[in-house]
């Protein structure tokens, strides 16, 4: 086990009241990719900033290879790669110069820096723009520079927050490929809204809601949990609104004058519904949707 | 070591590649050229007992050091007080915070970059005075040591201290914004006198030259002046050859207080710097009870009244929203201070009101007013506003009027009092002062896209014009009669209109 988070809490003071961004979160992470899912405000970014040693939590401990990183953040910083959701660059510098700067900040030796940067620029398809000022880069190119800086020191722990924002489909596929290659010897924590981004590459999935960890399983185990709760129903448009109100609809496809719905529910939503195989998105929606409690209680009545 | 090197390099490249850096260097060069006028010029800058030295390297080197010691602390502070802010605003701070770089290394690199930038400025000024010496040709013998040593002994320690003070201001929460800009301005005005009087600093040097001139030309009875002096046509400026002096141990020892100041400020910087840990976390705090009470009983009711008053016209509706935008998010103490100043305006003697309280009430609004013209750029709403159906001219006029209403509210005690006492001239003067202040704020904001230019410029004009009552910068007319006789109110009215038209044009073009 590389990363051990024990009873982690973080709260903000709002007047006299304390608001929890993270509440008693415990998690053990070993090498491989951990997909961190959760809606806006679930506490993902707060957790990321704490793990990246930027923010100190209110309570709890975080051990990295047995060392408490809240007390000694430097121990982790030497082995950390971090790509925040929102970050900036020095736009007057070229991509190469900026990476040189970040390499310096990460303590890379001069001799190693050039080769590492060249390799990363090549891997991320940025060699052609290496010596152009960053102010001329597109959003996707800047995002790739962000990814490159995170990988500069060959990190043992890679924390990436919404990394695929701004990337086109081809770049997203390349990025997933790159992460898979990197995941063998290190621990990658990948936070995203886009479930499809982690579905194919994550070994484990953690789902957060209002600051709490509500699920932590391997991807297949999480999908198995909703195996008998996934339904497919072809229906008329007139019924759509009611179904959407009563059930969790994870997907819909228009088929002529009808519509094919993928539904997640504890019971068959309709006699016409047929069982189907679950996806990670089904599991995510099932565990995070407030609709579920509504439907459950409706059925119970 | 590589961390420090890369950090300094990148920071220096980022800051020096900006267009504003080139503009600054050129401006400093022009300022240097202007500081050394020819003998036939309408003004002179350093006259001792009616004499000035010929433009040889010795004289130019010392004069440049005097110019730098007096003016670089104020110019350079504002120029470099953005090292940490640059990382915060660009959000590069998020990346930096997670790297193993230590606080000390990072801050030291920022300090080094500040010093490098300041050295570039001094270097450009030095090159400019070489040009001046060759151009005027009063002496063609360029002695580089004589040009450089005064900068090393008198200017460099001061630059090291300014670099350290700037970074310290950026590290302390309440000093990093506009408050810090205003506080530093007053620190600077306070320090000029002490600098001149300082035994080991430039003051002692000036006394030394004065003594030498008095000894060599005992009959001459002229005045001694540093700064811009308009030359009387009948008064002839004489020149003499000054052989210069060599740096002494006393001069070197004189640098110790500044070096200590530099060190102390740097230690404070390291202590106060939060390593960007509070960068993007939401810090929502409930306002204090007094503010909640003010909100419920005064501000909300006033706003309801404004809603009714603003209803008939789209312009007034827009004006109300602009005013609300301008006033949102300011400290409750600011509101309480404004109310207190208004109450004082009603009861204090007219002399004190005109010379102190009313100017203070306007200065009280400087940090709010400085938002004019650049708020949309800071809030990144330029594109959202651009496609709104309100025309750019209407938007500009609404913003301008919101600023005007704000200052009118800040002066409301005086306005009521002058109206009751039928002091119509004073009333007109207040209107002119408000119009000028708002036009300047709006122009500076729209032109630079930052708050800083207005905060510095306005505070300077305010201090020299209103407090020191320098006639040509007194936009209010503290000495009412003299001001009207010289036609100053007309000039400021014209400047206000000109600035407003220019700003509307800038806004419309963008």
Q: What is the pLDDT of residues B193-217, one digit of tens each?
A: 566 556 456 777 888 888 888 888 8
Residue B284 pLDDT: 47
Strands (DSSP E) contained in A65-198 are 67-68, 80-83, 157-161, 187-192
Distance from CA of A113 to the nearest CA of B (A): 10
Residue B289 pLDDT: 65
Determine whether the interchain pair A86/B96 forms a contact, defined as Cβ–Cβ distance below 8 Å.
no
Q: Name every residue whose Cβ is closer than 8 Å to that of residue A38 and which is 6 or more positions away in sequence.
A: A44, A191, A207, A208, A209, A288
Domain ends where: A194, A218, A242? A218
Residue B304 pLDDT: 80
Does one domain contain both A138 and A254?
no
Q: Which of residues 247-276 of B touch A (CB under 8 A)?
A: 275-276
Each residue's pLDDT tens digit, A152-209: 999 999 999 988 877 888 888 888 888 888 888 789 999 988 888 888 889 999 999 9
Q: Which of residues 76-105 of B touch A (CB under 8 A)?
A: 89-101
Instruction: Say which range, B48-57, B119-128, B149-158, has the weakest mean pLDDT.
Output: B48-57
Does one domain contain both A148 and A161?
no
Mean pLDDT, rounded, for A213-217? 92
pLDDT band at B264 (very low <50, low <70, confident <90, very high): very high
**Containing domain of residue A191, as a range?**
1-79+155-218
Determine whether the interchain pair A86/B280 forms a contact, defined as Cβ–Cβ distance below 8 Å.
yes
Residue B451 pLDDT: 84
Q: Is B23 exposed, middle or buried (0-12, 13-18, 19+ CB in 10 A)?
A: exposed
Each residue's pLDDT tens digit, B58-106: 999 999 998 888 888 888 888 898 889 889 888 899 899 999 999 999 9
Q: Name every residue whose Cβ is closer than 8 Å to that of residue B192 and which is 6 or more positions away in sequence.
A: B70
Q: Map residue B328 onto helix, strand or coil.
A: coil
Using the 8-state DSSP alphabet, how is residue B231 labeled?
P
Mean pLDDT, rounded, for A71-88? 91
Which element (helix H / strand E) includes B57?
A: helix B57-80
d(CA A24, CA B120): 53
Determine whether the interchain pair A92/B17 forms a contact, defined as Cβ–Cβ distance below 8 Å.
yes
Q: Which residues of A touch B94 (CB under 8 A)?
A: 54, 82, 84, 86-88
Does one domain contain both A209 and A245?
no
Does one domain contain both A42 and A168?
yes
CATH assignment of the domain containing A1: 3.40.50.300
With 80 as the cut, is the pLDDT of residue B301 above it?
Answer: no
Q: Name every residue whose Cβ is closer than 8 Å to that of residue B447 and which is 6 or more positions away in sequence.
A: B373, B453, B503, B506
Domain count of chain A? 3
pLDDT band at B283 (very low <50, low <70, confident <90, very high): very low
Q: Which residues of B touch A102 (CB under 8 A)?
A: 95, 99
Does one domain contain both A9 and A20?
yes
- Is residue A179 within 8 A of residue A201, CB to CB? The reply is yes
**Cα dist from B65 to B121, B136, B246, whole Å:** 13, 19, 14
The long-range contacts involving A237-244, CB below 8 angstroms and separated by at least 24 positions, are A243/A269, A243/A270
Using the 8-state DSSP alphabet, how is residue B354 labeled?
I
d(CA B134, CA B56): 9
Distance from CA of B423 to the nearest CA of A (A): 47
- Is residue A28 within 8 A of residue A6, CB to CB? The reply is no
Strands of A230-236's sheet in order across: A248-255, A258-264, A230-236, A274-275
Each residue's pLDDT tens digit, B78-88: 889 888 988 98
CB atoms < 10 A from the CB of A122, how many?
A: 11
What is the per-residue burial (b if ≥16 Cβ within 10 Å, else e) of B471-482?
eebbbbbbbbee
Best mutation target, A20, A90, A112, to test chain B (most B CBs within 10 A): A90
Backbone angles phi, psi at A80, to 5 degrees: -110, 140
Does one domain contain both A3 and A139?
no
Distance from CA of A209 to the nearest CA of B (A): 18
- Is residue B400 within 8 A of residue B332, CB to CB? The reply is no
pLDDT band at B335 (very low <50, low <70, confident <90, very high): confident
Best mutation target, A88, A103, A146, A153, to test chain B (most B CBs within 10 A): A88
Distance from CA of B13 to the nearest CA of A (A): 7
Q: Does B19 touch chain A (CB under 8 A)?
A: no
Distance from CA of B97 to the nearest CA of A (A): 6
Does one domain contain both A6 and A66?
yes
Q: Name every residue whose Cβ is closer than 8 Å to that of residue B23 and which is 6 or more positions away in sequence.
A: none
Determine whether the interchain pair A84/B95 forms a contact, defined as Cβ–Cβ distance below 8 Å.
yes
Does one domain contain both A40 and A111?
no
Please write down the HEC assignment for all residues of B95-114: HHHCCCCCHHHHHHHHHHHH
With 50 as the cut, is the pLDDT of residue B280 above it?
Answer: no
pTM as predicted: 0.77
Q: Which residues of A touch B11 (CB under 8 A)?
A: 90
With 70 as the cut, is the pLDDT of residue B295 above it?
Answer: no
Determine whether the interchain pair B101/A101 forms a contact, defined as Cβ–Cβ distance below 8 Å.
no
Q: Name every residue whose Cβ is closer than 8 Å to that of residue A137 and which is 6 or more positions away in sequence.
A: A95, A129, A145
Instruction: Say which range, B9-13, B263-267, B325-329, B379-383, has the weakest mean pLDDT.
Output: B379-383
Does one domain contain both A101 and A15?
no
Determine whether the interchain pair A77/B98 forms a contact, defined as Cβ–Cβ distance below 8 Å.
yes
Q: Is A272 exposed, middle or buried (0-12, 13-18, 19+ CB in 10 A)?
A: exposed
Strands A258-264 and B51-53: unpaired
Does one domain contain both A75 and A160?
yes
Domain ends where: A196, A218, A240? A218
Does one domain contain both A178 and A271?
no
pLDDT band at B286 (very low <50, low <70, confident <90, very high): low
Distance from CA of A58 to the nearest CA of B (A): 13
Does one domain contain both A133 and A32?
no
Q: Does B277 touch chain A (CB under 8 A)?
A: yes
């Amino acid at each position: 086990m590389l990363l051990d988070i024990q009873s982690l809490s973080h709260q903000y003071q709002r007047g006299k009241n304390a608001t929890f961004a993270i509440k008693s979160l415990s998690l053990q992470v070993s090498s491989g990719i951990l997909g961190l899912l959760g809606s806006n405000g679930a506490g993902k970014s707060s957790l990321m900033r704490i793990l990246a040693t930027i923010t100190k939590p209110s309570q709890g401990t975080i051990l990295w290879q047995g060392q408490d990183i809240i007390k000694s953040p430097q121990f982790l910083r030497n082995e950390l790669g971090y790509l925040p959701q929102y970050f900036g660059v020095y736009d007057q510098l070229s991509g190469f110069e900026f990476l040189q700067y970040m390499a310096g900040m990460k303590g890379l030796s001069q001799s190693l820096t050039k080769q590492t940067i060249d390799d990363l620029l090549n891997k991320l398809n940025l060699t052609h723009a290496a010596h152009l000022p960053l102010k001329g880069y597109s959003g996707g190119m800047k995002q790739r520079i962000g990814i490159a800086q995170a990988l500069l020191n060959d990190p043992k722990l890679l924390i990436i927050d919404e990394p695929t924002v701004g990337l086109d489909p081809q770049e997203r596929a390349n990025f997933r490929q790159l992460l898979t290659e990197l995941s063998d010897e290190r621990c990658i924590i990948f936070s995203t809204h886009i479930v499809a981004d982690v579905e194919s590459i994550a070994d484990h999935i953690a789902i957060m809601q209002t600051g709490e960890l509500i699920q932590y399983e391997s991807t297949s185990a999480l999908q198995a949990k909703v195996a008998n709760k996934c339904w497919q129903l072809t229906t008329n448009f007139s019924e759509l609104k009611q179904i959407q109100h009563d059930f969790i609809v994870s997907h819909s496809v228009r088929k002529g004058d009808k519509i094919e719905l993928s539904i997640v529910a504890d019971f068959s939503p309709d006699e016409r519904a047929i069982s189907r195989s679950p996806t990670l998105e089904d599991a995510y929606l099932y565990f995070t949707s407030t609709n579920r409690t509504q439907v459950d209680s409706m059925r119970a009545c | 070591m590589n961390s420090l090197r890369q950090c300094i390099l990148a920071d220096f490249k980022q800051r020096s590649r900006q267009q504003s850096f080139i503009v600054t260097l050129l401006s400093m060069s022009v300022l240097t050229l202007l500081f050394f006028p020819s003998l036939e010029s309408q003004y002179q800058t350093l006259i001792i007992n009616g004499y000035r030295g010929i433009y040889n390297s010795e004289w130019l080197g010392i004069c440049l050091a005097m110019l730098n010691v007096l003016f670089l602390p104020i110019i350079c502070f504002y120029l470099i007080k953005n090292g940490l802010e640059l990382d915060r605003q660009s959000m590069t701070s998020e990346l930096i915070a997670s790297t193993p770089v230590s606080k000390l290394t990072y801050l030291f690199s920022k300090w080094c970059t500040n010093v490098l930038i300041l050295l570039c400025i001094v270097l450009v000024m030095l090159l400019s005075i070489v040009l001046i010496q060759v151009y005027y040709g009063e002496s063609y013998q360029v002695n580089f040591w004589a040009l450089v040593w005064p900068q090393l002994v008198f200017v460099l320690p001061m630059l090291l201290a300014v670099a350290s003070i700037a970074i310290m201001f950026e590290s302390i929460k309440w000093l990093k914004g506009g408050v810090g800009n205003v506080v530093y301005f007053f620190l600077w005005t306070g320090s000029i006198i002490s600098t001149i009087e300082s035994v080991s600093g430039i003051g002692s040097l000036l006394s030394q030259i004065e003594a030498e001139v008095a000894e060599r030309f005992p009959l001459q009875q002229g005045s001694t002046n540093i700064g811009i002096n308009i030359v009387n046509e009948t008064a002839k400026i004489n020149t003499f050859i000054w052989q210069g002096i060599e740096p002494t141990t006393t001069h070197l020892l004189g640098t110790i207080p500044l070096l200590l100041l530099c060190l102390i400020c740097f230690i404070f910087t390291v202590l106060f710097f939060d390593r960007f840990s509070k960068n993007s976390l939401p810090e929502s705090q409930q306002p204090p009870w007094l503010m909640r009470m003010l909100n419920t009983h005064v501000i909300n009711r006033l706003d309801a009244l404004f809603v009714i008053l603003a209803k008939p016209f789209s312009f007034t509706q827009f004006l109300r929203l602009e005013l609300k935008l301008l006033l949102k998010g300011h400290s409750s103490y600011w509101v309480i201070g404004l109310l207190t100043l208004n109450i004082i305006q009603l009861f204090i003697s007219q002399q004190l009101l005109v010379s102190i309280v009313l100017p203070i009430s306007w200065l009280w609004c400087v940090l709010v007013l400085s938002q004019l013209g650049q708020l949309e750029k800071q809030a990144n709403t330029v594109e959202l506003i651009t496609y709104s159906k309100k025309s750019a001219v209407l938007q500009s006029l609404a913003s301008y009027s919101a600023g005007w209403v704000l200052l009118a509210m800040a002066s409301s005690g005086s306005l009521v009092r002058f109206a009751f006492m039928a002091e119509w001239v004073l009333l007109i003067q207040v209107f002119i002062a408000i119009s000028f202040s708002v036009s300047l704020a709006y122009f500076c904001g729209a032109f630079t896209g930052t708050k800083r230019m207005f905060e510095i410029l306005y505070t300077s004009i305010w201090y020299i014009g209103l407090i020191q009552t320098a006639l040509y910068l007194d936009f209010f007319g503290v000495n009412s009669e003299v001001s009207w006789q010289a036609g100053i109110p007309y000039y400021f009215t014209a400047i206000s209109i000109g600035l407003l038209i220019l700003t509307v044009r800038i806004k419309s073009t963008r």
